[in-house]
Amino acid sequence: MNPFKPSRRWFLKASAALPLAGCLSQTRLAAPGPLIAYVGTFSSPLRDMLPTQVDLPPGNGRGIHLFQVDRASGALNPHGVVEMGTSPSCLALNAAGTRLYSANETDRVGDDKQGSVSAFAVNRADGKLELLNTVRSGGAGPTYVSVHPGGRHLLVANYFGGSVAVLPILADGRLGDASDVKVDAGKIGPARASHAPPGSFAFSGHDRTHAHMIQADPSGRFVLHVDLGLDQILVWKFDEQRGVLTPNEPPSVSLPPGDGPRHFHFHPNGRWFYSIQEEGSTLVRFDYDAAAGRLSPRQTISTLPPGFAGSNFCSEVLVSADGRFVYAGNRLHDSIGIFSVGPNGDLTFVGEEWTRGNYPRSFTFDPTGRFLYCCNQRGDTIAVFRVDRSTGSLAFTGHYAPVGNPSIIVFLDLA
């Protein structure tokens, strides 16, 4: 018998195995699960609006808008809406992608003059949301939420209340009542920003204290929050067992008077920290001492192109995942400034991109970093850009998603 000639028995066994092999091959080549985008919006008429609250919209959104993302083109396809009339303007997912939390930016819950925060369970099959519970936020106008790296606490910044709060995350993902609330206090900065462009009338938050963002450092040992009215970044030690904040030493670092710190982002190396100033239209680069929780300013640079004059309100700051570029949002100028990161963390302006809409409140990358999505708050649209990761430049894809007053977009990969 020729040892290289297959026998009839071998042929039958091989033929029987073919369907199974085909199934395994199809399993390996099966398309990944959905990529879901959640968009938070301003979705209710504003009450008690002060003349200085210039950046707030009339509330054209319907709540939390869901989209399925086309992974190849970046296009957003409607996938449902969680109807909410409480302006869920900031969203945060837990690390497992099983819970979503929303800051509901209203000024009261019933007769209580504070806003609320909601917890949702995420259906891992299709990304749909189920409301778990809603609790008080510890102050009026909660504008920012973030999940502590330990996964057991939600951190909340209350813009109109000038306070920050720690909310326990219970075992089933629901939120408990605040374990700590801190109310900002101190001297309010001037109406004129130190670094305002020539001819600027930008004034948004130097009427009182305004906590605008709160987030833990990568270790979770320290929590940082900005107060726009105080022109300060406050640093807290965090007791994860009790969910309590205590002032660090020193307890804060000051920005130039009137510049108005709004948001910040850590570099992936954890040693550099970038703060964007809303009224001064600047980025400030800090060195961060992770052992002591201390910030040391190293560089201040304009978010705007050379020669700009007039009013501008900065919004978002975003560091690319590879740490090579920093992106800065300019409202009224309606652009995203693009900066390269040098070997010591300093920034160099390399260009800008028009946002294809009015008043870019925030923007973020998809999970691959290939696309950037910009929420044009007053333009009622999200614009999609392709990212050149070698140069940092942005190219408009031609894709828009109509959403009333979009404020934030976050992604969940169900692959």
**Where do the domains of the chain lie, and which CATH numbers do they carry?**
108-402 (2.130.10.10)
Query: How many Cβ atoms from other residues are within 10 Å of residue 276's Cβ?
Result: 30
pLDDT at 109: 73
The amino acid at residue 338 is I
**Residue 407: strand, helix, or coil:** strand
Bridge partners (DSSP) of residue 110 are none
Q: Is 260 exposed, middle or buried (0-12, 13-18, 19+ CB in 10 A)?
A: buried
Which DSSP string do the residues of 102-159 spell out, in sequence order? EEE--S-BTTBSS-EEEEEEE-TTT--EEEEEEEE-SSSSEEEEEE-TTSSEEEEEET
Q: H or E segment at 10?
A: helix 8-29
- The greatest distance separating any two alpha carbons of the chain, rounded to the nearest whole angstrom, comes to 97
- Its pTM stands at 0.91
pLDDT at 31: 61
The C-alpha atoms of residue 6 and residue 1 are separated, in whole angstroms, by 10
Q: Is 235 exposed, middle or buried (0-12, 13-18, 19+ CB in 10 A)?
A: buried
Location of structure tokens 């390399």: 350
What residues contact 263, with CB distance under 8 A and at least 6 apart?
A: 212, 213, 226, 275, 276, 315, 316, 317
Written as tens digits, the pLDDT of the chain (415 aa) is 443 344 444 444 444 444 333 443 344 455 678 999 999 999 975 544 443 344 455 689 999 999 999 999 999 999 999 999 999 999 999 999 999 999 999 887 777 789 999 999 999 999 999 999 999 999 999 999 999 999 999 999 999 999 999 999 999 999 999 999 999 999 999 999 999 999 999 998 899 999 999 999 999 999 999 999 999 999 999 999 999 999 999 999 999 999 999 999 999 999 999 999 999 999 999 999 999 999 999 999 999 999 999 999 999 999 999 999 999 999 999 999 999 999 999 999 999 999 999 999 999 999 999 999 999 999 999 999 999 999 999 999 999 999 999 999 999 999 8
What residues contact 329, with CB distance under 8 A and at least 6 apart?
A: 276, 303, 314, 315, 316, 317, 336, 337, 355, 360, 361, 362, 363, 374
Which long-range contacts does 180-187 make (Cβ < 8 Å, 24+ apart)?
A: 180/243, 180/244, 180/245, 181/138, 181/139, 182/236, 182/245, 183/139, 183/209, 184/209, 184/211, 184/227, 184/229, 184/230, 184/234, 185/209, 186/227, 186/230, 186/232, 187/230
Contact 355, 383 (CB under 8 A): yes
243 secondary structure, DSSP code: T
pLDDT at 113: 84
